[in-house]
Amino acid sequence: MKILTILGARPQFIKASALSREFKKYPEIIEIIIHTGQHFDKNMSEVFFTEMNIPIPKYNLNINGLSHGAMTGQMIQEIEKIILLEKPDFILVYGDTNSTLAGALAAAKLNIKIIHVEAGLRSFNMNMPEEINRILTDRLSYLLFCPTESAVNNLNIEGFNNFKCKVFISGDVMKDNALYFSKIAEKKSTILSRLNLNSKNYLLCTIHRAENTDKLENLKQITKALNKLSNDFEIILPLHPRTKNIIESNKLKINFHTIEPVGYLDMLQLIKYSNIVLTDSGGLQKEAYFFNTFCITMRDETEWTELIENGCNILTGANSEKIISSVQDCSKKTFPNSSGLYGNGNSAEYICNKILLEK
């Protein structure tokens, strides 16, 4: 069984690690990886392949720095050529980036069955490029692996039980990875001592969503909140290259120390030992939960609604007052007892078994 996996962006490298680990157990599965090049910096790409033992991509398309249409178009063109050459049984795509959609479109037009891991998520905000990518990819997919019950419900509401596809609730491969790699991170990561951090004495922050970087007012609100919070808390902000460019070109004032993006092992340690995570990332919302850490999500909506319902996550939008008051609230509360969301760390095994049944 030949599976062509399409990867392009940081969260996809991380997600892919869990399934690649599983695929290696089955000699009958051949996984071939295409790296589209969407993320290309060493600390946004290579570090994950090395640390997380992800197979080296056979194809590297080096497509980046283009508008959405040009990027997606070029990717489709190149992936199509590789599909024709490799003749895979399946295309495997993760999440919601342009690489996900390009892989799905190229495969669908050549009648290759698509596996979508992290299917069914919706923000119901069509201004998000990710929402467009998710909806279209789901519609083209044959095996849809949903991390949550609400994701399955979203697909049911959209009529997926009438389509020629199979929908599964698999749990989240990110949980597999967080559990698997946190033990390794405890042994190998030196980030806490390098940054001179003690357990639970800092806020960990990431910002990279288009709504917070492309809308300058949003970024100003967030940096204003973080500047104020830096009077009372140490702030650790591994800065995404896109956000860094925008902060620099607009000369936004930052009163605290920012760092370069870190590898996964360092990130797990930073999340685990932080007071609170403040983010607009999808992945970090769940990783905070895996380590019983409150998350403040600086967006107007989230795809991970069960975290809000369970009181583990607070939505503040890019509103400096709300961000600050939520940090104060979370500092006083104990983390809710709500284990069991996102499966029990064996999602990759479940997904792999379902794929094998398609032989």
Cite the active site residues. Answer: 208
Q: Does 281 bind ligand UDP (CB under 6 A)?
A: yes
Window of 28-36, 153-161, 224-232, 276-284 that interacts with ligand UDP by CB under 6 A? 276-284
Using CB atoms within 10 Å of the CB of residue 192, give its burial: 0 to 12 exposed, 13 to 18 middle, 19+ buried. Answer: middle
Q: Shortest Cβ distance from residue 243 to ligand UDP (Å)? A: 11
Query: By CB neighbour count within 10 A (0-12 exposed, 13-18 middle, 19+ buried), where does 10 fall?
Result: buried
297 part of the interface to ligand UDP, by CB under 6 A: no
Q: How many residues does the chain have?
A: 359
List 54, 267, 288, 315, residue binding ligand UDP (CB under 6 A):
267
Choose one: 60-68, 85-93, 158-166, 262-270; the region binding ligand UDP (CB under 6 A).
262-270
**Closest listed residue to residue 202, CA positions, set 322, 281, 293, 291:** 293
β-strand pairing of 258-259 with 276-279: unpaired
Which class for 106: exposed (0-12), middle (13-18), buried (19 or more C-beta within 10 A)? buried
Our CB check for ligand UDP shows the closer of 32 and 184 to be 184
Q: Which of 237, 284, 234, 242 is nearest to 264 (CA)?
A: 284
Out of 283, 317, 343, 345, the residue judged to bind ligand UDP by CB under 6 A: 283
Which of 38, 45, 206, 313 lies at the binding interface for ligand UDP (CB under 6 A)? Answer: 206
Which residues have CB under 8 Å from 203's CB, separation 6+? 229, 233, 234, 235, 236, 274, 275, 276, 277, 278, 327
Neighbours of 240 (CB within 10 A): 22
Q: Which is nearer to ligand UDP, 165 or 267 (CB)?
A: 267
Single out the segment in contact with ligand UDP by CB under 6 A; choices: 18-26, 69-77, 279-287, 334-342: 279-287
Q: Which stretch binds ligand UDP (CB under 6 A): 165-173, 181-189, 246-254, 256-264?
A: 256-264
Kindly state the smallest distance separating residue 110's Cβ from ligand UDP, in Å: 27
Which residues in the 162-201 window bind ligand UDP by CB under 6 A? none
In the complex, the residues that contact ligand UDP under the rule CB under 6 A are 10-11, 14, 206, 208, 238, 261-264, 267, 281-284, 287
